[in-house]
Structure 1
Amino acid sequence: MPTPVAAASDPAASPVPPRQTARGGGRMDLTDGPIAKTLILFALPTLASNILQTLSGSVNSIWVGQFLGESALAATANANIIMFLMFATFFGFGMAATVLIGQAIGRGDIDAARRASGGAIGLALLFSVVISLVGWFASDAILRLLETPPEAFDFAHDYLRVTFVAVPASMLMVTLMMASRGAGDAVTPLRFMILSVVLDIVLNPLLILGVGPFPRLGIAGSALATAIAGTISLAGMIVWFYARDHVLRLRGRELAYLLPDWNELRFVIGRGLPMGAQMLVISGAGLVMVGLVNREGLVTAAAYGATLQLWNYIQMPALAVGAAVSAMAAQNIGANRWDRVAAITGGGIRINLAMTGVLIAILLAFDHAALALFLGSESPAIAVSRHIQYIATWTFLPFGTTIVIIGTLRANGSVVPPLVILFLSMFPIRFGIYWFAYPWIGADAIWWSFPLSSLASLAMAWAVYRHGGWRSAMRSAPGG
């Protein structure tokens, strides 16, 4: 069967099947219309979802920091990087399925889109149950590997174990959201992110402090609140899919798609492993970084935890625009609209730089007030955190540009070059900077390693985008 690339060079060789229709809530046609406007409108719901999710985490950190202290806040930072690692392991499979969904929607093949979505959901369920069981029993060993400060260890233990219990519901929710965006619907995930965030913010203080009929659970209550909110939102999203006859809903014989066929599984694994490895490289570097920060003491660990909260906001435009670029490029590749792909990439880069630049300026202008929310106005960690931000916050300008470029590469199944780029920038470059600079400038070597390694990754990503063979990467996509 001709691939999208072959069809692009010879449209007559691969006629696009008649478009099937299905109601999809907020589903947009990403293959037509003005590129910049369409990209912004599609990215905004994803950005709003990211803002809400990060806001929920920030508010929860405020509850934990104010009610339970700096040790508990440091514990959540250690536990959350572990959870990122767990989700990163599956991320690649979900993204590979999203590429299939996007290209199928671009071709107008709704059945292929549902088949890819069902396979991703089934794989997510199996994978998440295994992760949940392993994580429950291995949580203490993981925390020891991170060199979690003794003052924070018990807090981290309680928080992490409850969080592992909630992994299946959380992972299924993330998978449904990724699939929905791949189909061009970014509004449905936003609706249920709003529900999840509201429930999480309300339940956190009730379960931490034991207000009214709720038990006093301390830091475990914060994790349980997040788990309950995510489970309710997942159930609501599934009901919504069927009530609105969403384009990816499964009925009757389509339920068999929850067991992916071999061709699709081979593609998802073949493309998903390198994509998942990209996230593992990022999260693995984050784990090593947490260990290096922990060596600097509790004050620096708490300062870094608060800094990460603010950095979560700064990186949101890059993640939202990168996801939008990937979905939009995939649909245009599926529709043989290669003339629009370069414009999508360029538009994504410009939009991201503008949005990220504004956020950096705002957060640096009001950083003391923001940090006081997490650390308390008299905490010695505030001065350390402000120092970190002045050195490293601008790293998100090159970081965001790299994310957009990688989103385009990923849309056509090019997954190995981004993996190599991320590995080189995160390990030999970033930690090489730390290794050589630490004897001279101490802990500042950690903070300078962020922007310098991001510049290196941008240079490599741009070289691959301009001169690499990514346009012919999608040679084994089922249904292509």
Structure 2
Amino acid sequence: MTDAGIPAKNRRDLTRGSIALTMILFALPTLGSSALQSLNGSINAVWVGRFLGEEALAATANGNILMFLLVSFVFGFGMASTILIGQAVGRRDADLARRTIGTALGSIIPLSMLIAAGGWLLAPTLLDLLGTPASAADLALTYLRMIFTAMPATLTFTLFMMALRGTGDSMTPLWFMVVSVGIDLILTPVLILGLGPFPEWGIFGSAFATATANTLALIGMVATIYLRGSVLALRGPELRYLLADRTILISMISKGLPMGLQMIVISSAALTMLSLINREGVQTTAAYGATQQLWTYVQMLAMALSAAASAMAAQNIGAGKWDRVSRITRWGLVFNLLLTGTVVALLTAFDETVLALFLGSDSAAVPIGARIQILATWGYLFFGVAQVLFGTMRANGYVIGPLVVMVISMYPVRLGFAFGFYPLLGADALWLAFPAGMVATALMGAGLYLHGRWRKGRMLPAEEAAQRSEGYRAQAGTCASCSDLAPTTAWKPSEEPREPQAA
């Protein structure tokens, strides 16, 4: 049974039923994906820290910050495509969903290749700008260059996971995150230590294992999309959708760029903070790197709920069910406070025990990490509030206001606090700057949600694309996949594409 070309078995309808239950069922697989990714990073950090030393762990901390910065480029683009796909699924428009994923892939893959090439060449300069400790510089360069080499596969894998969630499918990304993590967990110690017939590659082995795991998982995910007949599968003439549709591309750029800039603002502020932390010495940098591993478990709850709120709100907006959107936000906030609060309490209670896994129980960095935990981790309650609010607002294409909020909270607030109070508080000012920025983000985000004009926004270019798609279907009649609908002249992005074949 189909709904305007979208098989019901290939999508999860987020516009019906209990909001609380739907959010939990959607968010749990997303949370599981994040938990696996975080666990994988943590286990890799344990291997690196315990067998390669604190310098290697500091090197991965510097490399991971830069990787986060690069993933920010695809985050905004991917979120824009997720919203467009979600709204298309909500209005039961399979053609728009396929043209959206085609445009996204046709744009991201070439861009990621340019990033990989440029990053390889500029890696030494980037590490110098970070003020990477000299003892960790060579290791960081090796690690970072491998990350850049894997960038096309990593970004494409991320894009497909986000697009699938836009269709309401959060389980497929979970299964292939299981595949990726499983491969990585096996390969990392093998390639770090040179077990069996494999070479002893040290920190390069850690990065190579992750790159290989993401590539194999991407191949499996793409195969599954086609085997299941997902709405995202492009077949035959639909492959022309990889040539970017101008209308959809404009929408992705206009809405995705501010969302990507939000991540870049966060990343650049984090890079500045890391340069300050690096000045405190390699032990403090290692303690911060270990603490970051713990923070990922707190962040992932907020990000999973934000993704659920965004996907649910997008489908309900597409379906015109505005009465459900406010309730989606309220449930997101309730779940955030309950779940994030629980994890914050657990990490605070067992901080030294967990930090010792990364640093060793006798490391002088453990008490530094415990101090960071006490002063900073509670701020993630407010981080979660802001992410749920932003998730709902961006579902309707409202992205400029949240970007302004992030700029203010990251720079005048967080960095201003760190620089301003450092003479008085010393290193504690660096750690307290994190919750200061998060509280400011939550307060300003709440103001935007309550008084902003986000409800009046819209993904205008996408709506124009949908109208064009509807007009084409009206001309084509009721036939969903007739081969004689193919145009006799070469298709161009600015022209009306043919009706796609049924998935």
TM-score of Structure 1 vs Structure 2, range by shorter chain: over 0.9
Q: Which residue of 2 aligns with 1:11?
A: none
* Distance apart, 1:477 and its partner CA: 3.2
2:414 pairs with 1:430: yes
- Tell me the amino acid that sits aligned with residue 140 of structure 1: P
The 5 Å alignment of 1:54-453 reads 54-453=38-437
How much has 1:475 moved relative to structure 2?
5.4
- Contact (CA 8 Å) 1:100, 1:477: kept in 2 or not? no
The worse-fitting range, judged by mean Cα deviation, of 74-83 and 238-247 is 238-247
Question: Match of 1:315, SS?
Answer: helix
Aligned twin of 2:7? 22
In structure 1, how many angstroms separate the alpha carbons of the residues matched to 2:352 and 2:423? 29
Mapping of residues 437-476 of structure 1, within 5 Å: 437-474=421-458, 476=460
Cα deviation per residue 1:413-452 (whole Å; 9 max; x = unaligned)?
Answer: 0010000000000001111111221111101111111111
Residue type of the alignment partner of 1:323: A
In 1, the alpha carbon distance for the partners of 2:441 and 2:85 equals: 28
1:38 and 1:90 map into 2 onto residues whose CA distance is 27
RMSD of aligned residue pairs (Cα, Å): 1.1
8 Å CA contact 2:413, 2:437 repeated in 1: yes
TM-score of the superposition, structure 2-length normalised?
Answer: 0.91
Aligned residues: 463
Instruction: Identify if the C-alpha distance between structure 1 residues 258 and 23 changes in structure 2 by more than 3 Å, giving closer, same or farther.
Output: farther
SS of the aligned residue for 1:143 comes to helix
Distance 1:121 1:18 in 2: 25
* Alignment check: 8 A CA contact 1:24 1:246 kept: no
> Would you say the 8 A contact 2:393–2:399 is kept in 1?
yes
Distance 1:407 1:475, change over 3 A: closer
Partners of 1:20 and 1:249 lie apart in 2 by: 12
- Superposition deviation, residue 473 in structure 1: 1.4
More deviation, 121-130/218-227: 121-130
Partner residue of 1:9? none
Contact 1:23 1:244 in 2 (8 A): no
CA contact (8 A) 1:169 1:231 kept: yes
Q: Distance in 1 between matches of 2:69 and 2:9?
A: 32
Q: State how far apart, in whole Å, the 1-side matches of 2:459 and 2:229 are.
A: 32
1 CA distance for matches of 2:104 and 2:310?
17
Does the aligned pair in 2 maintain the 1:24–1:185 contact within 8 Å? no
Residues 1:277 and 1:24: Cα distance change in structure 2 (over 3 Å): farther
Report the alpha carbon displacement of residue 257 of structure 1 after superposing the two structures with TM. Answer: 1.2
Q: Where does residue 7 of structure 1 map in the other structure?
A: none
Distance 1:79 1:453 in 2: 23
Following TM superposition, by how much is the alpha carbon of 1:247 offset from its aligned partner in structure 2, in angstroms?
2.1
* Cα distance in 1 for residues equivalent to 2:190 and 2:118: 29
- The CA distance in 2 between the partners of 1:235 and 1:29, in whole Å, is 27
The amino acid of 1:152's aligned partner reads A
Alignment partner, residue 29 of structure 2: 45
**SS of the counterpart of 2:7?**
coil
Which deviations, in whole Å up to 9, do the C-alpha atoms of 1:236-284 show, x marking residues without a partner? 1111111111121111111111122111111111111111101100111
Flag as ranges the 4+ runs of structure 1 deviating above 4 A.
none
Q: Match of 2:168, SS?
A: coil
1:381-435 per-position Cα deviation (integer Å, ceiling 9, x unaligned): 0000000110110010000000000001100000100000000000011111112
Shift of 1:469: 0.5
Write the deviation string for residues 317-346 of structure 1: whole angstroms up to 9, x where unpaired.
100000010010000000000000000001
Q: Is the 8 A contact 1:105 1:334 kept in 2?
A: yes
Letter in 2 for 1:378: D
CA deviations on 1:169-193 (whole Å, 9 max, x unpaired) are 0110000000000110000000100
Contact (CA 8 Å) 1:90, 1:127: kept in 2 or not? Answer: no
Q: Secondary structure at the match of 1:30?
A: coil
| Corresponding letter in the other structure for 2:137 | F
User: Identity rate of aligned residues, in percent?
Assistant: 53
Return the alpha-carbon distance in structure 1 between the equivalents of residues 217 and 116 of structure 2.
19
Q: Distance in 1 between matches of 2:129 and 2:420?
A: 24
Whole-angstrom distance in 1 between the partners of 2:213 and 2:88 = 32
Counterpart of 2:419 in structure 1: which amino acid? W
Larger mean Cα displacement after TM superposition, 121-130 or 180-189: 121-130
CA drift of 1:351 comes to 0.5
Aligned residue in 1 for 2:484: none
Q: Shift of the alpha carbon at 1:119? A: 1.1
Q: Distance in 2 between matches of 1:156 and 1:475?
A: 41
1:457 Cα deviation (Å)?
Answer: 1.0
3-state DSSP class of the match of 1:379?
coil
> C-alpha distance in 2, partners of 1:444/1:110?
53
Structure 2 Cα separation of the partners of residues 247 and 475 of structure 1? 20
Contact 1:23 / 1:245 at 8 angstroms: preserved in 2? no
- In structure 1, distance between residues paired with 2:118 and 2:7: 40
Gaps of 5+ in 2: 467-503
Contact 1:332 1:341 in 2 (8 A): yes
**CA apart distance, 1:365:** 1.5
Q: Is the 8 A contact 2:303 2:387 kept in 1?
A: yes
